[in-house]
Chains A and B, each alone.
Chain A
């Protein structure tokens, strides 16, 4: 049996890893996004605004 605080910590760690992976996977340039879209068939969802 895993204790409650340890379990919470584990869940948080997993969520953090997933979040980091998602952030890391997001392309940082139009060319990278186009490349990923061409590979996977996914459409690009671009939001243009001012960097804050």
Chain B
């Protein structure tokens, strides 16, 4: 009677379709397994169960659920069962979890978070209201990442209190604030610390340097962004020469360009190659003078040319600025 109603009642069909229907014979092994795992007192049949996708029992009763009782129970169970995934979402979550898991195992936190990010359209990462296995795994991974971020935040706070570690802490803070952005709660905490820090006048210049280095770091992770990141970091080494930003920028530069990479220098009176960022415009010349937005150069032939500074590469502009200062 109940089974027939579930199959043939047109009004119930949309509600029933949101469950995985299962008919179990009480003489089968499935029934033995089911009744052992989810015991329901009594010995009458039928026995109705609603088991959530993660195995949690939502409903279990030995009754036929007549009249309105059945749709009422189904609606209540549906509300507690969490969201469901269509085929496209299943594949999205499956791929994201696999990529995020591998990245986290290899300690690539940013890649792991990036992999989970598309899932935020299903709900807040770590709290997606769905009990599909892949989503449960995604939530668990996101929570692990939040834990990691929290311990990173605690380390940053400790380091900010030590004079000699302030710049490294700021750089970590800026990167963490960007990296953990999809993890809402953690991102808010990092954002608050970053705002508090940026209000302190003595930290403002350091924060500016940390942001510039982090921007280049991010650029390096983009496809084809490495050469531009190297140019940006080279310019930062030149710009921050002699201060705490130089060492940090140089460290990043070494990671990207290798230890043998030479940061160009501008020696007064010596010819060097000037170029634009694309490398298409090149000229071997020595610097004569800077005038407003233009620079006067002298080729080896003695011919003098005036070039708009904006046309020169990031590195050349940094060299000119360093000479001016």
Contacts and interface: CB of A to CB of B under 8 A. Distances in A.
B77 interface: yes
A17 interface: no
B49 A44 contact: yes
B16 interface: yes
A50 B26 contact: yes
Q: How large is the interface on B (under 10, 10 to 19, 20 to 34, 35 or more residues)?
A: 35 or more
Interface string A25-45: 011011001101111111111
A48 B46 contact: yes
Given A47-B46, A49-B46, A50-B45, A40 B132 contact: yes
B45 A49 contact: yes
A49 B51 contact: no
A44 B84 contact: no
A45 B16 contact: yes
Max chain A Cβ within 10 angstroms of own Cβ: one of B50, B52, B53, B131: B53
Interface string B15-55: 01011111111110011011100000000011111111111
Given A27-B22, A48-B26, A49-B46, A43 B51 contact: yes
B46 A43 contact: no
Nearest to A23: B7
Q: Chain A: interface secondary structure?
A: mixed
A26 B288 CA distance: 83
B20 to A, nearest CB: 5
B85 interface: yes
A27 B20 contact: yes
Contacts of A40: 20, 53, 84-85, 90, 132
A46 interface: yes
Nearest to A26: B21
A24 to B, nearest CB: 12
A41 B53 contact: yes
Given A27-B22, A41-B82, A41-B83, A46 B51 contact: yes
Interface string B103-126: 000000000000000000000000
A44 B90 contact: no
A47 B48 contact: yes
B232 to A, nearest CB: 45
A47 to B, nearest CB: 5
B130 interface: yes
A42 B20 contact: yes
Contacts of A49: 2-3, 23-26, 45-47
Contact of A43 (B2, B31, B33, B81): B81
B133 A47 contact: no
A43 B58 CA distance: 9
A41 B130 contact: yes
A45 B19 contact: yes
Contacts of B46: 47-49
B74 interface: yes
Contacts of A44: 19-20, 22, 49-51, 53
A49 B53 CA distance: 22
B135 interface: yes
B33 to A, nearest CB: 6
Nearest 6 Cβ contacts at the A-B interface: A41-B132, A45-B19, A43-B81, A38-B133, A30-B30, A49-B46
Interface of A: 26-27, 29-30, 33-34, 36-51
Given A37-B20, A46-B48, 14 more contacts: A27-B20, A27-B21, A30-B22, A34-B55, A39-B85, A40-B90, A41-B83, A43-B131, A44-B50, A45-B20, A45-B48, A45-B50, A48-B25, A48-B48
